[in-house]
Each structure stands twice: as structure tokens, then as C-alpha cells.
Structure 1
Amino acid sequence: MRTNATPAPSTDPLAALGALPGVPEAVASVRKAVDRAYGHRVMRRRAIEVTAEAALRGARGSAALSGADWALEEVRRRTDFGADAEARTVGAALRLSAEAGQLLSVWRQSPLRVLARLHLVAAGGAADGGVVGRPRLAGERTDEPLVRAPLPDAAEVNGRLEGLAGLIVAGGSAPALVNAAVVHGELMALRPFGSYNGLVARTAERIVLIGSGLDPKAICPAEVGHAELGRDAYATALEGYLSGTPDGLGAWIAHCGRAVELGVRESTAVCEALQRGAA
């Protein structure tokens, strides 16, 4: 991550981001929303069902941002995800959503291994225009239409991925929302893989939110919120991250916070439907 923000004295370089404009309020608002969702009476008896539904809706939202904006019931109904590009995108999002919870224990020790695994899962083991399961090499390209910045070269990608991995392994005092937003934003900035970078980045954000303890049952799908806020808002917020300015970084983190809150709202609606017997 590149930042022009003045760091506060701390062993955690991300801790300073928690004090950027709008970030403390976003962190507090997300924590309050998540606590309300976990306090819903349905969560005491049917948390597994809420988690499963959140995974499905999160996958649908992430696929929508990547250009496959299918209705939820179509995602739920379909079994063939290899027919065309949109179907492959939805299939990749579903596989990643299912895989995320299996990688939590590895993430804190070897995040680069997890990212490689996520790309392999997204691609379904098929090359699909490039080698899977490893970052781009010199001369290899990728495409992510929601990022308007130039594509970093392979050397920069490798260096920044190593730096990001070092921060994750070291841990720190930054709030979960800040960590998740930085991981998401950095992966979108780097676009390290030959394909499916957006899907991988949003899955990594989910892993951080779950593994941090903020959302241990995975019932707050930020992907739903990102999709609801829209592709234009997502791209604009990413530009803020890429700028490295305090205001830009703060706006990106706050945007991710709003996405989590909208995910919470979605799962709260699922809880209400389950309580009424409608789902």
C-alpha cells in the first residue's frame, strides 16, 4: 500500500489509518450494526442457515460487481456454471464463497498461499487465458474494468504482495474494518492474477472480517453492500485508495464500512424471514 498519510507512532503501520477522517465513525457504526445482527433471536437457533444464505448472497453480489448481475433466484437455481463468461463468473464467486471459511487458519500464517489458492479455486483449475494460482509474471496482463489506474508491473506486484503479507502475519492493533479494506484495496490496486482479481479481493476482505472476530459466523456479507452501492461508487472509492491521500484512504475505508452495514441489513432481513417462516 502506498500512502501519503502521516503515520502515528506504532508498530502497526495500519493503526494510523484508524484515525483518518470518517474512519472512527465507520468502525463504530459497523461494530454496532454487527452486534445487533448477532443479537437477533434467530441467531441463537438458526445461525447455520443465516451463514449459508449470507454466503450465497455475498457470492451473487461479488459476481454482479464483476459483470454477472444475476437475480438471486437464478444463482440459487442454476447448476451449470460453465456455459459462458457470466456463468463462469458466478460459478467462481460461489466456489470462493464456499472456500473462504476453510482457509482462515492458513491466512494468518501464509496469506500469499491463501491468495494463490483463491485464484486457483476461482479459475476452477483451468487456465482461462493465463496461468492460475500464482501472480502475474513480467509481460503477462490482466483486465479489471473497475480499476482505472495503470497496471503495476510484476516486480511491483511481488514486492507489494510481500509487504502486505508481512503486515498480515505480524498482526497489529488496527480495527478489523481497516485491515479488511486495506487488503481489499491493495489487491484491487495490484490486480496480481491473470483473471478474477475482483472476486479474489472481495473474498480476501471476507476472510479478514471473519478471522478478525468481527464476523466469526460469516453473516455480514460485504459483497452484498458493495454491489448495492454500485459499480460507479466502488470504482470511485477505489480511486481514493489508489490516491494514497488521507481523505482518499478514509473514504475507501468508510465505503467498505457502508458495504458491511448493508450486508448486515441483508442478513437481518434473512433472520426476519426465518422468524416469520418465510425462508
Structure 2
Amino acid sequence: MTSPALAALADLARTPGVAEGIETARQACTELRWHQALRRRIPEAAAESRVRGAAASAMLEGAEPAGSQRSADLVRDLVRGALPWDERDEDPVWRVLAGVVRATSATEHVGAAQLRAPAQVLASLHTAAAGELLPMAQVGRPRAAGEECREWTELGQAPGPKEVAERLALVHELVAAVPAGSVPVLLVAAVVHAELVTARPFVLGNGVVARAMERAVLRVGGLDPTGVAVPEVGHADRAGSDYRGAITAYASGGREGVRLWLLHCAESVTRAAAEGTRVADAVLAGRLEGR
């Protein structure tokens, strides 16, 4: 028997324009999947996807290090060990960037078995994202009474612990259903992403965790089975203004606001596949920057 939450998700797929957007995104991801470079070099392409995804996610956090070196090059150097993780520990921007890289990299180890225990996945992603930014007592768990979140203040005051618990229960139910293949993967990824941002269950790092979880759901759910699409880049287009606007629309609570967010996510996955194609092209040509 389908739960009310899953039934509501299926109903969202029938709102105007959403089904068409999902189908366009599916076709784009299918084309990427059969790219010539991915016949034998998926690990290399997926690793570069995580590099570009982490750089885009950091940009959305406002964590773009000063200097002439691009964020993607810094991320690539971190991942391949050419730059120590504590290179600039005194720089708060650097510490956020390093946390984003750790969280995005951690998605590589999320599979179907892990998604059946979504609370543990969220805890591990948050530990990766914020383990160096918060006291250990606040890492890997939802906010307790009296703990505030000062992220996404344009959405209003963050919900209290009771509402957070209720919304996390919805997130857990949706994520746990992904391995069964009974729900539209893109919609699950979109709603989970939006709920984590708007509910702000953690003291810090909610957006980073939301984008990392979206990446994992899209891959494990089979929409992007190679993990080469770059959903973070899809959200970061136009300096992230569309992304923040769409999240704000979702937070309004109205059906139209939710529809706008879903349309944004469908379009962002299409753009993610396009960026994944650029990654695959670069792998095929042997011209990944920094290598």
C-alpha cells in the first residue's frame, strides 16, 4: 500500500509542466549514460564530476577562495593530494570549501544499502561537511531545543525541533523508498533537497548536505547511474539566483511554489547532464585541467 507521502509525490508529478521537465531530464541523463568515454572510464569521469560539483556547491555557500586559482582547480588539488587539507585552516572560507569537498566526496560511498538507513547517511554527510566547523557535540545530529540555525535567513526563522523531527521523518521515508524504485527519483531528490534546506535541521551546513544528498539519490535511484552528471552546477547557473529564488518559492508552502521548485530541479538535472557530457568529453580527450 502506498503511503500518503509517496502518493502526494506521485500527484506532484502531474502538476503542469513537471512531467515534461522530468522526461527531458531523463532523456538528457540517458544520452550521457551512453557517452563513449563512459564505456571504460566511468570512475575517472565520476571523480571529475564530484570535483566540479563540490566547486559549484561551495560557490552556492559563498565559499570562493580569493586569488587567481579557480575553485575547481583547488578542489582537484585537494582530492588528489597535491594540497594539504589544513592549508589555510585560519581562513573560514577555506574551511567551508574543505567541508563541501569532503561531503561531496562522501557521496561516492552511498549505495542502496546506505539509503535504507537515511538518518545515518545524513549524519555522515553532515559530519563530513561540518566536522571542522562546529563543536563535535553538534555534528551529525539535528538541532536540539535552544540551538539556532542562521543559514537561509531569507526564508524566515528556522523551524523548531518538533517540526524538524516531523519533516526529517518525511525525508527519511522518501529516501528509504529510493532503492525500491517505486517513486520518481527526480522528484524524491528535489523534495528531499528542499526539505533539508527549508527545515534546516542542522546548526550549520544544511545546503551542503542537501546538495550532497540530492547527488546520491540521483545516482542510486538510477537517473544518473554513472554519477557523472553534475547537479550542483545545474543549481549554480546564473550565480545561483534561480536556485535561491526557487527554494524561496518552495518555502512559501503553496502548490505553485512547489511546482516552480520542481521545474527548477528538472531543468537543473538537464543542465547537470550537459555538464556531465562536458566532463566525459574532457576525459575522452585526455584534457582534464590540473592533471
TM-score in terms of structure 2 length? 0.86
Q: In the alignment, which residue of structure 2 is the partner of 1:176?
A: 185
Matched to 2:63, the amino acid is A
SS at match of 1:20: coil
Q: 1:209 aligns with which of 207, 215, 218?
A: 218
Shift of 1:54: 0.1
Taking a change above 3 Å as real, the CA distance of residues 93 and 81 of structure 1, as seen in their structure-2 partners, is farther
Q: In the alignment, which residue of structure 1 is the partner of 2:273?
A: 264
Shift of 1:242: 1.3
1:233 is the counterpart of 2:228: no
Q: In the alignment, which residue of structure 2 is the partner of 1:157?
A: 164
Structure 1 unaligned blocks of 5 or more: 1-8
Percent identity over the alignment? Answer: 38
Q: Assess if the C-alpha contact under 8 Å between 1:184 and 1:204 holds in 2.
A: yes
1:76 is the counterpart of 2:71: no
Shift of 1:161: 0.8
Listed one character per residue, the Cα deviations across residues 185-227 of structure 1 (whole Å, up to 9, x for unaligned) are: 0000111101111100101111110111111221111001111
Q: In the alignment, which residue of structure 2 is the partner of 1:4?
A: none
Q: In the alignment, which residue of structure 2 is the partner of 1:43?
A: 38
SS at match of 2:123: helix
Q: In the alignment, which residue of structure 2 is the partner of 1:5?
A: none
Taking a change above 3 Å as real, the CA distance of residues 76 and 161 of structure 1, as seen in their structure-2 partners, is same
Q: Assess if the C-alpha contact under 8 Å between 1:119 and 1:133 holds in 2.
A: yes
Q: In the alignment, which residue of structure 2 is the partner of 1:58?
A: 53
Listed one character per residue, the Cα deviations across residues 94-139 of structure 1 (whole Å, up to 9, x for unaligned) are: 1111211213234432211211111111123663597111100111
SS at match of 1:12: helix
Q: In the alignment, which residue of structure 2 is the partner of 1:249?
A: 258
Listed one character per residue, the Cα deviations across residues 156-209 of structure 1 (whole Å, up to 9, x for unaligned) are: 101211232123334574311111000000000111101111100101111110
Q: CA RMSD in A?
A: 2.1
Q: In the alignment, which residue of structure 2 is the partner of 1:218?
A: 227
Q: 1:104 aligns with which of 99, 111, 115?
A: 111
Q: Assess if the C-alpha contact under 8 Å between 1:147 and 1:235 holds in 2.
A: no
The answer to which structure, 1 or 2, has the higher relative contact order (CA under 8 A, 6+ apart) is 1
Q: Assess if the C-alpha contact under 8 Å between 2:17 and 2:263 holds in 1.
A: yes
TM-score in terms of structure 1 length? 0.89
Q: Assess if the C-alpha contact under 8 Å between 1:146 and 1:231 holds in 2.
A: no
Taking a change above 3 Å as real, the CA distance of residues 81 and 215 of structure 1, as seen in their structure-2 partners, is farther
Taking a change above 3 Å as real, the CA distance of residues 272 and 20 of structure 1, as seen in their structure-2 partners, is same
Q: Assess if the C-alpha contact under 8 Å between 1:55 and 1:221 holds in 2.
A: yes
CA distance in 2, matches of 1:179, 1:85: 33
Q: In the alignment, which residue of structure 2 is the partner of 1:199?
A: 208
Listed one character per residue, the Cα deviations across residues 31-71 of structure 1 (whole Å, up to 9, x for unaligned) are: 01101111111111211111010010001111110011352
Q: 1:119 aligns with which of 112, 126, 138?
A: 126
Q: Assess if the C-alpha contact under 8 Å between 2:29 and 2:223 holds in 1.
A: yes
CA distance in 1, matches of 2:175, 2:280: 33
Q: In the alignment, which residue of structure 2 is the partner of 1:88?
A: 95
Structure 2 unaligned blocks of 5 or more: 78-82
Q: Assess if the C-alpha contact under 8 Å between 1:21 and 1:247 holds in 2.
A: no
CA distance in 2, matches of 1:270, 1:169: 30
- Runs ≥4 in structure 1, deviation > 4 angstroms? none
Q: Assess if the C-alpha contact under 8 Å between 1:20 and 1:247 holds in 2.
A: no
Number of residue equivalences: 271
SS at match of 1:101: helix
CA distance in 2, matches of 1:141, 1:132: 14
Q: Assess if the C-alpha contact under 8 Å between 1:142 and 1:195 holds in 2.
A: yes
1:34 is the counterpart of 2:29: yes
